[in-house]
Structure 1
Amino acid sequence: MGLQNTSSPSKTLDGVHGVHLLPHSPFTACEISQHEDCNLSTYESSRPFAANQRLLMTRVWQQRPPCFRPIHCNLQGDQNLAETIVNVLTSLPFVALGIQVPRKNMNNALYANSLIGVGVASSLYHCSRGDIRKYLRWADYTMIATATVCLSNALRNENPKLIMATSAFLLPFQPLMVSAVHTGMMEVAFAKRAFTKPELRMAHNLHKMSSILGGALFIADDLFPSTPYIHAAWHLAAAVGVGTCNKLLE
């Protein structure tokens, strides 16, 4: 008995109502090796795990402590063009002070460049409008904090490494806190040098008065943001305080 051709359709169901046989199967059979099947199963099973990991990281980031959250900047101020011009003009002294810093070493040069950056960041912020304004305000605060870190490092070459590392880590999130810590370190260094060097006492007294006035104006600017020219006055008081600090680097 000879073998029939398997490729030819069977005649058994011919003529049955509603049945139509195709000469070729519309499906294509292929072999999947055990290794490929395992890879496919691993990939399919890893997708939910990766999604859960991303969700977990998102929740952890959203629940991070307040000290790791970016500051909420006060965006009020610059009520009109005149106030903007005054705020920009009173930002320029920081650029001039940065140019005047004696660049005797790398730490002094970094501080000088950071002061120039403070003037530039402040000017850009006051000239800005719209959504970009909040980012430039953050850059303004961060640049001020960077300048205080560079100043304390220029006054004391061997700052504790833990303080410097922590300051660098918190700088993008809490620039005001970093500024406060390093400003305090600078004030202590200034007072010690003024005590041992009488020629610095006049500069130190001027620095203390400008610091007190600058702090009061900074608080008033936050409490009364609609009052014009308070921010510009704070610029000038801060510039005087920075100028007296340059005496320590000569």
Structure 2
Amino acid sequence: MPGAGLVDTLPLLHTSISAWVLFRECRLRLSSLRACYAFFSMEIAVMNSESEGDSYSSCQIWQQRPSFLRPIHCSIQGDQTIVETVANVLTSLPFIILGLQAPRKNLNSVLYANSLIGVGVASSLYHCSRGQVRRFFRWADYTMIATASVCLSKALHIENPKLLMAASAMFLPIQPLMVSVVHTGMMEVAFAKKASTKPELRTAHNLHALSSLLGGLLFIADEWYPETPYIHAAWHLAAAVGVGTCNKLLE
């Protein structure tokens, strides 16, 4: 049938992007083992040095924590130009609009709609911020995205094991990206299955597949070439198109 190939390749596409994200995370974990050893060695040294009159503040120790205890990584300088900041903020607004327009048929769909609004607000605040507070808003941005992915899987009535939901709740504040990958993957499978049985969803799913492909490429490009302007704003737009097509599943 027309578009069936695109429908069938989307789960594979998401698996490939997820594998890249998992590889990136595993590499960070492996590189953090040495830092972890140094961190705890320093704590032992601190305790030993206290008897000799030397002291370290808890703040200094916390700043030396290993990378796996630093879930969010970002620059505190902000975007390179004010024009780029404006572009990133403007392309965050579609998520607020999508949240306002999303179906609100039950509690789960209401929570999902509100989480989309939260994504737009958190993203806007992050791109407007500068200095140390930028790290907090980066965390809020990632956490709201993960929250929206969890809320979407609930709104779609996907069979989520209780253990998975408990693990998602536990890792949401510290590893939101991993939570997003898992729940987005479940949504992609559910979307592909419904599109294969409901012809009225195939156009939306084909558009979703194209936006997901473009969004995945832009996400990777943004990681590899962070100094290139407007890649992040373009990723916002591709993600917004993908989210907009997901809303068709709730109608």
Give TM-score scaled by structure 1 length. 0.72
C-alpha RMSD of the superposition: 2.0
Whole-angstrom CA distance in 2 between matches of 1:178 and 1:201: 27
Q: Using the alignment, how far apart are the partners of 1:139 and 1:210 within structure 2?
A: 24
Q: Tell me the residue number matched to 2:72.
A: 72
Residue ranges of structure 1 left out of the alignment (5+ in a row): 1-58
1:206 and 1:191 map into 2 onto residues whose CA distance is 12
Identify the residue that residue 156 of structure 2 maps to in structure 1.
155
**Where in structure 2 are the equivalents of 1:71-220 lying within 5 Å?**
71-75=71-75, 78-156=79-157, 158-220=159-221
CA distance in 1, matches of 2:224, 2:164: 31
Query: Which of the pair has more CA radius of gyration?
Result: 1
Deviation of the 1:171 alpha carbon: 0.3
1:38 corresponds to: none
* More helix by percentage: 2
Output the CA distance in 1 between the equivalents of 2:111 and 2:70: 25
Distance 2:116 2:246 in 1: 12
For CA contacts below 8 A with separation 6 or more, give which structure has more relative contact order. Answer: 2
1:77 shift after superposition:
5.5
Once the two structures are TM-superposed, the CA of residue 160 in structure 1 deviates from its matched residue by 1.2
Could you tell me which runs of 5 or more consecutive residues in structure 2 were left unpaired when the two chains were aligned: 1-60
Off by >6 Å, runs of 4+ in structure 1? 62-65
Aligned-partner Cα distance in 1 for 2:81–2:117: 26
Distance 1:239 1:191 in 2: 19
AA aligned opposite 1:236: L
The one-character-per-residue Cα deviations of 1:127-162 (angstroms, maximum 9, x if unpaired) are 000110011101100110000000011112542111
Amino acid paired to 1:74 = C
Q: Aligned residue for 1:248?
A: 249
Check the 8 A contact 1:115/1:147 in 2, yes or no.
yes
Number of aligned positions between the proteins: 189
Q: Which residue of 2 aligns with 1:31?
A: none
CA distance in 2, matches of 1:180, 1:240: 18
Q: Report the residue type matching 2:225 in the other structure.
A: F
1:75-114 per-residue CA deviation (whole Å, 9 max, x = no partner) reads: 2761111000010000000000000111000000000000
Q: Give aligned-pair identity as a percent.
A: 73
User: How far apart are 1:167 and its partner, in Å?
Assistant: 0.3
Amino acid at match of 2:194: R
Is the alpha carbon distance of 1:186 and 1:247 closer, same or farther for their aligned partners in structure 2, counting shifts above 3 Å? same
